């Protein structure tokens, strides 16, 4: 059985929600541009990421941001495997406390 989608609310950044999902058809969806830009700057400091994983974040948080991109498309654009994309999202989920601390939630 697939894991349920995890939802977190970050109220002071006026973001509706952050959805990080294990579902292979649905990539991470992040709404709110401010969050994307901060995430891009701060995440690699909080969580140890490989070169490929940094590329994935660059793509997801890129300009323009792609909130509803599929993992397959992210992988293609970042020139990494889908497995790397999944691993990146897994790391973000595991270290969500670090990510939250960056925004003092």
- What's the pLDDT band for 101 if we cut at 50, 70, 90? low
pLDDT in tens, 12-32: 444 344 444 444 334 344 444
6-98 under CATH 1.10.10, yes or no: yes
Check the CA dihedral 72-76-43-50 and report its sign.
positive
What per-residue confidence (pLDDT) applies to 85? 85
pLDDT in tens, 26-75: 434 444 455 666 677 777 677 778 888 888 877 777 666 555 677 888 88
Assigned token pair, 40? 């891009």
Give the mean model confidence (pLDDT) for residues 6-11.
Answer: 52
What per-residue confidence (pLDDT) applies to 36? 63
Residue-wise over 65-98: b if at least 16 C-beta within 10 A, else e? bbeebbbeebbebbebebebbbbbbebbbebbee
User: Cα angle at 40 between 38 and 45, to 5 degrees?
Assistant: 95
Give the residue extent of every domain in the chain.
6-98
């Amino acid at each position: 059985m697939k894991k349920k989608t995890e939802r977190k609310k970050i109220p002071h950044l006026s973001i509706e929600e952050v959805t990080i999902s294990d579902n292979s058809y649905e990539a991470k969806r992040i709404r709110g541009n401010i969050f994307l830009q901060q995430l891009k700057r701060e995440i690699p400091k909080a969580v140890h990421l490989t070169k490929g994983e940094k590329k994935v974040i660059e793509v997801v948080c890129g300009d323009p941001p792609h909130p509803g991109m599929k993992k397959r498309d992210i992988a293609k654009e970042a020139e990494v495997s889908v497995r790397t994309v999944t691993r990146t999202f897994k790391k973000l989920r595991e270290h969500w406390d670090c990510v939250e601390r960056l925004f003092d939630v």
